Structure 1
Amino acid sequence: MNFEFPDTALSVAGITNYIQSLLEEDKILRQVWVTGEVSSANHHRSGLFFTLQDPDGTAGIKCVAWNSQVAKLVQIPAVGEQIIILGSIRLYPQRGEYQLTIWQAIPAGVGLQALRYQQLRNRLLSEGLFDEERKQPLPPHPQTIAVVTSPTAAAWGDIQKTLKHRYPGLQVLFSPATVQGEQAPESIVKAIARVEKDGRAEVLILSRGGGAVEELACFNDERVVRAVAECSIPVITGIGHQRDESLVDLVADVCVHTPTAAAELVVPALSELYAQHQQRIDALYDAVYEVRTSAENQLQTLRNRLQRLGLDRQVKQEMQKLQWKRQQLLQITSRRSQQATQHLEMLRQKLATLDPKAVLNRGYAVVRQENGAIARTATELTVGQELLIQLGQGEVKVKVTEVTTKTQKD
């Protein structure tokens, strides 16, 4: 029998290289998670070689974790254990085999959930969602409280009972939500959004009773965590018990471990308020009494000091000083008044001697020309000129009949 070989036939290396490119360049196979059971394991000087297979033995794959990576594995593969590995496909042309080069190995089941929890926690922590600085304080005396929980859960009954007992008359807004199962995260987010949209609540309680880890998974859901972190009103959580810390507990403004504890913390008891009020009254009474007693003591001290100082005697001495100064002032004023009167009389007499009327009263006269000017020499006058003679009593009008001019001799 004769066979005709086609020109396109590939060599072993050619087909191997082709398969290698398909495997190693595939986006999924370059970083793939695989779960299975370790069927064999061998520690070699270069690394850890093991086989991962399905529990029913229908398929298996060879794996290797090089020594540089073994110390970084969360779970060291051991025969019989269920693990989840992260790695990439590598093909070895000489043997015509492929295997997974391992970067990480973790326990399957609960171990995977724990890893995802830790990864999300680290991411949220790096964003600052757990920082104390961003958390809001609870209002001291809220009048309206919102509760987000399941209407069928015992937590809702515990919260109602506690609030009614501690703070009767408080308005409680109930926003029901599913708090377990796949639908829980979306239900809780919507319940919180309803409370914010309503706008009446001053604080929000997010709660449910205790449960298994898987039952509390919704409180580790990133959607729920961010809804609590972004809530505009303070949020207090009462989820499960102390051993069941969730990411929602870490991001909430206040975290307690039971629904009852949340209700007790969110409002004060009226009996406690009354006791505090009575304490303030007693403290105020004591303060007033202390101030009054201190003032009375100070007043008595001042009285005693005044008595020792002899205030009456000092007042009498001051009055005597004032009387003496008054007499001095009167004497000085009287003396200065007499001096002023004498000086005034002297000026009056001097003025009288200078008064022109006094000269006229002694027999002298003033001769004035028609224009009112005083005639001082005969040469200023002419015959026939009319003159006005001013006497001590009255005036006389005359006419010049003769002008005689005499030369004064030494």
Structure 2
Amino acid sequence: MTFDVPNSLILDTALSVSGLTDYIRLLLEQDEQLRQVWITGEVSSANQHRSGLFFTLQDPDGTAGIKCVAWNSQLAKLAQMPIAGEQIIILGSIRVYPQRGEYQISVWQALPAGAGLQALRYQQLKNRLLAEGLFDAERKRPLPLHPQTIAVVTSPTAAAWGDIQKTLKHRYPGLHVLFSPATVQGEQAPDSIVKAIARVEQDGRAEVLILSRGGGAVEELACFNDERVVRSLANCSIPVITGIGHQRDESLADLVADASVHTPTAAAETVVPALSELYTQHRQRVVALHEAVNDSGETAVNQLQVLRNRLKRLRLEKQVQQEMRQLTWKRQQLMQVTLGRSQQAKQHLELLRQKLVSLDPKAVLQRGYAVVRQENGAIARSTGELAVGQNLMIQLGQGEVKVKVREIKD
């Protein structure tokens, strides 16, 4: 069967190549799902050009592939550089290029896939918590030396709980153990562990907490790298010791804990001392104390004997008596010298007193002499200083007389 279509109609309805390409581009680039899409696959080829890194991402079985480009402006921001043969996860958008009639993914971000993605998330969280100071040594608290009550957070069905019970009972009989059960594997584990720690803190009796789980694959221990669990341990009001897994790298829970060991049994051995060891140490201290006391007693006796011997050699009593006699003699000498000097001083004082008396003008006046003074108070010593009619004062032994010069005789 054939259709007869006029050529004019075909020309009117046919699309140009660019028109069809634009239509396809609008369909792809404006689709909400394709404007921001995550894709996982294996890098089959990668070529670096001046404008960016061009590579192909394909399914592992090679059934499908898609071209991708990471422009130079985005390369430094990629968490994982696309390398041929590696599994990655990319985030990007669909872009259509009309000149070639092709589409490709414009890459914004690339992450490692599978275990690599988990390792990247682990490292990023570790770096962030490290920057906050949650792993600093200054935050580590010492474990109590002799705790009377401890708390254990682990699975009730795990072998770890049995190992811890057995070890604690053997090392420290009579210890009070609080068990706070938790799921330690799977998606529910982080929330379960956080709630178990909260129950211990709410109870308030425990002095130290053991967070434990036996060995397992890396995937099974992922809950101990969960940020909720790490922050719960960091904020715990009592010291925490972890005993998680065997022969593995440290989890973030180990890094934030106050102490960490590799097994549940080692955690139980660390948290309490063995009574048998304590008894042995006590006996050793008792013996050492007795020896120290005996040594001190012998040393004191020897020192006392040495002092006695020195006293005998010095004849201390005779020496003291001799010193006392010398002191008595010196005292008598001092008294005699002091008394003699006192008598000499008295005699000298009396001599000075007599001299003062003999030189006293009043004493001369008492013997009948008089002192003639002019009106200005000067003593008249010669008639040449006087004149007829001049008033004079004559000082006698008792009182004074005012006179006037009537005549002067040489």
Shared fold per TM-score greater than 0.5: yes
The answer to whether the aligner puts 1:234 opposite 2:235 as a matched pair is no
Q: Look up the match of 1:157.
A: 162
Amino acid paired to 1:77: I
**Whole-angstrom distance in 2 between the partners of 1:30 and 1:314:** 114
Separation of aligned partners in 2, 1:20 and 1:153: 53
Aligned equivalents of 1:171 and 1:223: distance in 2? 28
Cα pair distance change 1:103/1:289, threshold 3 Å: farther
Q: Distance in 1 between matches of 2:118 and 2:212?
A: 22
Q: In structure 1, which of residues 38, 41, 44 is the aligned counterpart of residue 45 of structure 2?
A: 41
Q: 1:255–1:189: structure 2 CA closer, same or farther, 3 Å change rule?
A: same
Within 2, Cα distance between the matches of 1:53 and 1:72?
19
After TM superposition, give the deviation of residue 292 of structure 1 in Å.
2.3
Deviation at 1:139, TM superposition (A): 0.6
What corresponds to 2:177 in structure 1? 172
Computed over aligned residues only, the root mean square deviation of the Cα atoms, in angstroms, reads: 3.7
- Of 57-66 and 272-281, more deviation after overlay is shown by 57-66
**Cα gap change, 1:14/1:307 in structure 2, threshold over 3 Å: closer, same or farther?**
same
Cα distance in 2 between the residues matched to 1:15 and 1:161:
74
1:304 maps to what in 2? 309
Aligned length: 328
Whole-Å Cα distance in 2 between the matches of residues 31 and 297 of structure 1? 94
TM-superposition CA deviations, 1:75-101 (whole Å, max 9, x none): 54325x432234455454544544234
1:73 and 1:103 in contact (8 A); partners too: no
2:192 — aligned with what?
A: 187
Q: Is the 8 A contact 1:48 1:70 kept in 2?
A: no
SS in structure 1 of the partner of residue 318 of structure 2:
helix
Kept after mapping to 1: 8 A contact 2:190/2:224 = yes
**What TM-score results when the alignment is normalised by the length of structure 1?**
0.69
User: Partners of 1:279 and 1:191 in 2: how far apart?
Assistant: 41
2:372 aligned partner: none
Distance 1:70 1:196, change over 3 A: closer
Between the aligned partners of 1:203 and 1:122, the Cα distance in structure 2 is 27
1:206 to 187, 205, 211: 211
Is 2:92–2:105's contact at 8 Å kept on the other side of the alignment?
yes
Q: CA deviation at 1:323?
A: 7.5
The one-letter code of the counterpart of 1:270 is L
User: 1:152 is matched by which residue type in structure 2?
Assistant: T
1:145 aligned counterpart, secondary structure: strand
Query: Aligned partners of 1:286 and 1:194: how far apart in 2?
Result: 50
Q: Give per-residue Cα distances to partners, 1:200-230, cap 9 Å, x unaligned.
A: 0000000010001111111111111111111
Q: Is the 8 A contact 2:28 2:34 kept in 1?
A: no
Does 2:88 correspond to 1:78? no
Q: Is this contact kept in 1: 2:28–2:94, CA < 8 A?
A: no
Q: 1:33 to 1:132 in 2, by over 3 A?
A: farther
1:327 Cα deviation (Å)?
9.5
The structure-2 alpha-carbon separation of the partners of 1:11 and 1:45, relative to structure 1 and needing over 3 Å to count, comes to: closer
Residue 73 to residue 130, structure 1, CA distance change in 2 (3 Å): closer
Corresponding residue SS for 2:30: helix
Within the candidate set 285, 293, 298, 2:298 is matched to 293
- 1:50 aligned to 2:83? no
Say if 2:250 is the partner of 1:250. Answer: no
Give the whole-Å Cα distance in 2 for the aligned partners of 1:53 and 1:317.
118
Aligned to 1:222: 227
Contact 1:173 1:201 in 2 (8 A): yes
**Greater alpha carbon shift after TM alignment, 320-329 vs 126-135:** 320-329
Deviations 1:10-63 (A, max 9, x none): 96797688669737xx7x86765421233x415254354322234566754211
Distance across 2 between alignment mates of 1:137 and 1:107: 39
Bigger drift between 199-208 and 235-244 goes to 235-244
> Within 5 Å, which residues of 2 pair with 1:8-407?
22=30, 32-38=37-43, 40-46=44-50, 47-55=52-60, 60-65=65-70, 69=75, 74=80, 76-79=82-85, 81-102=86-107, 105-318=110-323, 320=325
Tell whether the 8 Å contact from 2:163 to 2:265 is kept in structure 1 after alignment: yes
Where does the alignment leave 5 or more consecutive residues of structure 2 unmatched? 1-5, 337-410
Do the aligned residues in 1 keep the contact of 2:21 with 2:101 (CA within 8 Å)?
no
Distance 2:279 2:300 in 1: 31
Name the CA distance, whole Å, in 2 between partners of 1:254 and 1:29.
49
Tell me: CA distance 1:165–1:18, structure 2 relative to 1, closer, same or farther (3 Å): same
> In the alignment, is the contact (CA less than 8 A) between 2:29 and 2:94 conserved in 1?
no
Cα 1:186–1:73 change in 2 (3 A) is closer
Worse-matched range after superposition: 318-327 or 28-37: 318-327
Is the 1:166–1:264 Cα contact (8 Å) retained in structure 2?
A: yes
% identity of equivalent residues: 74
Report the CA distance shift for 1:160/1:104 in structure 2 as closer, same or farther (over 3 A): same
Please tell me the residue identity of whatever aligns with 2:47.
H
Contact 2:212 2:264 in 1 (8 A): yes
TM-score, structure 2 as length reference:
0.69
